[in-house]
Chains A and B, each alone.
Chain A
């Protein structure tokens, strides 16, 4: 890790019924957790498409957490069971392609586990801090820039905005 002041960007995709509520509880219980993490609430862990993960990496996430209800606790009965199978593949695929294990992590956090939420988030932040910025993926972005030589001055964020405007 080069820069001492560097802080990782962490995105957490959390389900509405358990982990998000758990995070809420952490807040109301005034537990402290790292501010690096940006929560994105989805209705169910089974509804988190792996392209969300790719998009987050494309836009500069250094680490990602995916979290839902414990097995058997899914609000929709089986969303997390389906998710578990899919994530097993996605996790192995990304690791095989060269994304270190800790960049993408998974957890089950229930609505009453405010403390666990804090622990999980802290672990992800610490792991990613140790690994440093996700340079490999960022290089994909810079190549995106060089492939379009007509717009060298436009920064990455501009391109992302244009894309969103579609």
Chain B
């Protein structure tokens, strides 16, 4: 990844960017996020199948935004982004959380990432989000780097699971999800990892009145998981970070993906794909289907 290191070094040297948010190798099969602020450190940047994080989550953090403010001017923030991460950046721009000129997107060509660190990259270990992925080349980027390789072909595991759930009766489904949600410990890691969960104050943190009970029991867990999935409906870009962050292995992608399908089918909308359209839930069309209403 010499070209990545070289580009980042240049960008930092000529003060195009104040920092580059990227990945650093930890061991052969593991990386971690790094925020590079000096040209010397640019050599630490890498990109490979172990770059799992969606770094777009950092772009809305005040601490990171402040990095861009230098001597009275505001520089850009550089970010190493996979095509799916760029969808998150696009969604953030659509939702006015960011301006296009605030970021310098180093878009990486991507043929998939592993499910988890420590695995060899193959069809079997391909992250589930990569199977239905249709954008292996960055949609928006200021520089486009990386090799183009083929993504292993495997079946769409998440969609199959969704179809299996939809075959169940309502009662069985309720039981199934209740059991899954019961595992929730309300750590809110799913929220912290999600690039689109940027609210300064989440509805679950509101106590007067308390809309979503915060103690981990069935009732509160159900509310929380419904609210999380609903607030991401039509917005989720499917990076899978929430599910990866969940310490209790709750299949959050079953909810996200199902809502993504609704967005596609009911509104022909895919989140984070175009800077020229308004967001789905932030806009409306008088011609939207009226079927739901008596």
Binding partners A and B: yes
Which residues from chain A sit less than 8 Å from chain B, CB to CB? Answer: 49-51, 54-55, 58, 71-72, 78, 81-82, 84-100, 105-108, 120, 123, 136, 139-141, 143-144, 147-148, 163-164, 166
A50, A78, A120, A140 pick with most chain B CB within 10 angstroms? A140
Task: Knowing A89-B230, A93-B255, A96-B165, say if A147 contacts B210 (CB, 8 Å).
Answer: no
Instruction: Write out the residue numbers on chain B whose beta carbons fall within 8 Å of the beta carbon of A93.
Output: 226, 229-230, 233, 255, 258-259
In the complex, what's the smallest C-beta–C-beta distance from B231 to chain A, in angstroms?
9
Pick the residue among A91, A92, A98 that contacts B171 (CB under 8 A): A98
In the assembled complex, how far is the CB of residue B258 from the closest CB belonging to chain A, in whole angstroms?
Answer: 5
Binding site for A on B (CB under 8 A): 165-166, 168, 170-178, 182, 203, 207-213, 215, 217-220, 222-223, 226-227, 229-230, 233-234, 255, 258-259, 262-263, 266-267, 280-281, 284-286, 288-290, 292-294
Number of A-B contacts (CB under 8 A): 132
Point out the residues of chain A lying under 8 angstroms from B203, CB to CB: 51
Q: Is the CB of B292 within 8 A of A81?
A: no
Which of A50, A81, A96 has most chain B Cβ within 10 Å?
Answer: A96
A72 to B259 alpha-carbon distance, docked (Å)? 27
Q: Do B166 and A71 touch (CB < 8 A)? A: no
A139 adjacent to B218 (CB under 8 Å): yes
Q: Which residues of A contact B215 (CB under 8 A)?
A: 147
Q: Which residue of A lies closest to B235 (CB)?
A: A89
- Would A85 and B259 count as touching, CB distance under 8 A? no
Q: List 11 A-B contacts (CB under 8 A).
A: A50-B226, A78-B284, A82-B284, A84-B292, A85-B280, A92-B259, A92-B262, A93-B230, A97-B173, A98-B176, A106-B294
Minimal beta-carbon separation of B204 from chain A (angstroms): 10
In the complex with contacts A98-B175, A166-B209, A51-B219 CB distance below 8 A: no
Residue of B nearest to A135 (CB): B171
Q: Collect the chain B residues with CB atoms within 8 Å of residue A106's CB.
A: 292-294
Q: Which residues of B contact A163 (CB under 8 A)?
A: 209-210, 213
CB distance B286 to A81 under 8 Å?
Answer: yes
The chain B residue with its CB closest to the CB of A116 is: B294
Expressed in whole angstroms, the minimum distance between the Cβ of A59 and any Cβ of chain B is 10
Is there an interface contact between B170 and A123, defined as CB atoms closer than 8 Å?
Answer: no
A88 adjacent to B292 (CB under 8 Å): yes
A118 → B minimal CB distance (Å): 12
Shortest beta-carbon contacts, A-B, top 6: A98-B174, A98-B173, A81-B284, A107-B294, A89-B233, A143-B218
Chain B residues contacting A55 (CB-CB under 8 Å) are 211
* B286 near A72: Cβ-Cβ < 8 Å: yes
Q: Is B170 a contact of A100 with CB atoms below 8 Å?
A: yes
